[in-house]
Amino acid sequence: MAKDNTGNMKLEQDTTFKFGCNKGAGCFTECCGDVIIFLSPYDIVRIKNRLGMPSYEFLEKYTILPIHKEMRFPIRILKMNDDAKKRCPFVTDDGCNIYDERPWPCRMYPVTEDADPSGATDKIYALLREDRCKGHDSANCQAYTLGQWLDNQGLREYEEFNALYAKVTDNSYFDAGGVLNEQKMHMFHTAIYDIDRFRMFVFETKFLKMYEVDEARQEKMKADDMELLRFGFDWLRFSLFGEDTVKPREEAVREFKQGADAAQEAKEKAGLPDDRGWHKKE
């Protein structure tokens, strides 16, 4: 049987494996503590809506924002309870109380997904075995192919937003040594993690006077978090990397250039270097 680079069994779409997570397995919810669970923007929208709370309250109460000097972009991690087992705040003795909106890593387990080191677009999947997990040998195991597992766990719904996230986090800007300053880190975080605050930014400031967004999309963005999240990814790719995913209004570009020219003239008189540009594009 083929193995991945960690020794786990590789899975193809038609590879069959057996697994069952239930109270009869003898380890029920043991995997729900003392573990790092990264939350994607899509996870955050689904969970905060399930809990009926705005994104900024959810982020404050249930997540951690780790900060270190080598971090390329902001990430959010689920905050575990401050108890001996460091259990997930949504887990009870009867299981997960947000099961239908559980995060992507919880849905995937015990399947892992990694990028192909060769650079191919296909993902590499493997079956993870841990000593604490008895689900592989449970009496209630079911047989799945990889494709059936992805369908059964509701993972297909994540594909669109995981791909949009990857277009930002795996952007060639970072490979070329690009670094986000504090302001851009804040933009990144607000646009795709703090979606309710981003909505306020879009609709309660001069934002729509600066960018062309058709009225039909504006109406969707007002009511639909997912449409607003799609726009957030588009806006980040434009604002951070200069991609043509959002179009600035001509008057906004003109005002920017006029301000940049005035600033540059002042810099030249002071003997400072030239760093002007509308995201380095004409």
53 in a structural domain: no
Question: What is the structure's pLDDT at 16?
Answer: 93
Taking the CB of residue 178, how many other CB atoms lie within 10 A of it? 13
**Does the pLDDT of residue 275 top 50, yes or no?**
no
**Does the pLDDT of residue 138 top 90, yes or no?**
no
Closest of 29, 58, 57 to residue 43, by C-alpha: 58
267 in a structural domain: no
Report whether 103 contacts 42 (CB < 8 A): no
Number of domains the chain contains: 1
Question: Collapsing DSSP states into helix, strand and coil, what is residue 278?
Answer: strand
Question: What is the structure's pLDDT at 278?
Answer: 38
30 — pLDDT class (breaks 50, 70, 90): confident
204 in a structural domain: no
- Burial pattern 15-49, b for ≥16 Cβ within 10 A else e, equals bebebbbeeebeebbbbbbeeebebbbbbbbbbbb
Which DSSP state fits 157? G
Find the angle CA(68)-CA(161)-CA(130) to the nearest 5 degrees: 65
Find the domain containing 157 and state its range. Answer: 9-35+80-161
268 in a structural domain: no
**Does the pLDDT of residue 237 top 60, yes or no?**
yes
**Does the pLDDT of residue 28 top 80, yes or no?**
yes
* Percentages (nearest 5) of helix, strand, coil residues in the chain: 45, 15, 40
116 in a structural domain: yes
CA distance 238 to 240: 6
133 in a structural domain: yes
CA distance 251 to 130: 59
26 in a structural domain: yes
pLDDT per residue over 154-210, tens digit each? Answer: 999 999 999 999 999 999 999 999 999 999 999 999 999 999 999 999 999 999 999
Question: What is the structure's pLDDT at 6?
Answer: 57
**Does the pLDDT of residue 84 top 60, yes or no?**
yes
176 in a structural domain: no
**Does the pLDDT of residue 264 top 70, yes or no?**
no
Report whether 8 contacts 127 (CB < 8 A): yes
pTM of this structure = 0.86
Q: What is the mean pLDDT of the chain?
A: 88
